[in-house]
């Protein structure tokens, strides 16, 4: 099993999750990569050259059995889990009157249940080991809403998770389990259009007039999982968009 650390990353097949997976593999860590779509996960593994310390587990993270399987497989193959990165998430921006029941259910499933079930399993296993890190990718918009981006449901759910992170950090502190969040602003990922007009509009959402790179989030994740003295915090990585009006 080796002595290297073991990490579970949800939403690992593309974007921020893929970059986080790659960064941990580069460190020599064991990584259990989760995504809903098996084909996309396998394509991601191909890009990573199918390292022996990468384990793919496809499944809907909204289902408790998926979380149980992630931790069971991690324990069977690598002995334990040191780090959980709850990255899987969806973002739907609409005026409140346009949201549908399907939108609400989708956001609750992926963003809320996808946080709770893995965090619950992580707490259970990490308390036995008396150490660990739980990192949750939230959203800067949940900390500072913006009139240009109507997004009540993501703000409501991610905002609740931001508060839950602080509560869970207190609950698990005595077991040396660090619980933190990272709140990205606009990050360059496949979900954003490359059209110049849209790119210009996205840049205008931060006073630095920049769009972040996935490596900005990766660096924050690595910092938090290296630290033994940071817990209960939400690290904002947003080019200054939460600082106020400009």
Cβ-based neighbours of 168, under 8 Å, separated by 6 or more? 119, 123, 134, 179
**Which pTM does this prediction carry?**
0.95
Could you say which DSSP state residue 100 is in?
Answer: -
Ordered domains of the chain (ranges, CATH) = 6-237 (3.40.50.720)
Q: What is the pLDDT of residues 103-123, one digit of tens each?
A: 999 999 999 999 999 999 999
- Return the H-helix or E-strand segment holding 110: none
Q: Is the model more confident about 3 or about 113? A: 113
| Angle, in degrees to the nearest 10, between helices 152-172 and 114-129 | 10
């Amino acid at each position: 099993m080796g002595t290297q650390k073991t990490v579970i990353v949800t939403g690992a097949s593309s974007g921020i999750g893929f970059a986080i997976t790659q960064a941990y593999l580069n460190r020599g860590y064991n990584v259990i990569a989760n995504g809903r779509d098996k084909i996309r996960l396998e394509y991601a593994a191909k890009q990573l050259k199918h390292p022996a310390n990468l384990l793919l587990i496809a499944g809907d993270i909204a289902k408790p059995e998926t979380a149980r399987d992630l931790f069971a497989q991690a324990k069977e193959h690598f002995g334990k889990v040191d780090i959980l990165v709850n990255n899987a998430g969806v973002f739907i921006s609409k005026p409140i009157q346009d949201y549908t029941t399907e939108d609400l259910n989708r956001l609750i499933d992926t963003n809320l249940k996808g946080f709770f079930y893995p965090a619950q399993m992580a707490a259970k296993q990490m308390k036995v080991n008396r150490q660990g890190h739980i990192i949750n990718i939230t959203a800067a918009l949940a900390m500072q809403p913006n009139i240009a981006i109507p997004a009540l449901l993501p703000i409501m759910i991610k905002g609740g998770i931001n508060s839950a992170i602080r509560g869970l950090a207190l609950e698990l502190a005595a077991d040396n389990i660090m619980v933190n969040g990272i709140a990205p602003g606009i990050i360059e990922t496949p979900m954003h259009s490359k059209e110049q007009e849209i790119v210009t509009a996205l840049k205008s959402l931060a006073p630095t007039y920049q769009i972040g790179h996935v490596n900005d989030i990766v660096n924050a994740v690595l910092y938090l999982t290296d630290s033994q003295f940071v817990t209960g915090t939400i690290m904002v990585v947003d080019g200054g968009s939460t600082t106020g009006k400009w």
